[in-house]
Amino acid sequence: MEPEPAQLSLQELIRRLRERLARPLPGPSAQWEMAPPYRRALLAQLNEEPAQARAAAVLILLYPNGSELAFPLTLRTLYVAYHKGQVSLPGGACEPGESPVEAALRETEEELGPLGEAVEILGSLTPLFVPPSGFIVHPVVGYLPRRPTFRPAPMEVAEVLEATLSWLLDSRHQDEEEREVYGARWRIPVFRLENHVIWGATAMILAEFRAVAREVLASTERRA
CA distances from 61 to 106, 143, 217 (A): 13, 6, 19
Q: Please give the average per-residue pLDDT across 116-135, as a whole number.
A: 93
CA distances from 28 to 59, 178, 194 (A): 19, 23, 27
Is the pLDDT reported for residue 6 higher than 70?
A: no
Chain-centre distance for alpha carbon 106: 16
- Are 39 and 200 in contact by the 8 Å Cβ rule? The answer is no
d(CA 128, CA 205): 8
Task: Give the global pTM.
Answer: 0.93
Is the pLDDT reported for residue 151 higher than 80?
A: yes
In the chain, what percentage of residues exceed pLDDT 70? 91
| The amino acid at 109 | E
Write the pLDDT tens digit of every residue in 23-43.
Answer: 999 999 999 999 999 888 888
Write the pLDDT tens digit of every residue in 184-210.
Answer: 888 999 999 999 999 999 999 999 999
Buried b (16+ CB within 10 A) or exposed e, 151-160: ebeeebbbeb
Q: Please give the average per-residue pLDDT across 94-122, as a whole number.
A: 96
Q: Which domains does the chain have, with CATH numbers?
A: 5-217 (3.90.79.10)
If phi > 0 it is left, if psi is from -120 to 50 it is alpha, else beta; for residue 200 that is left
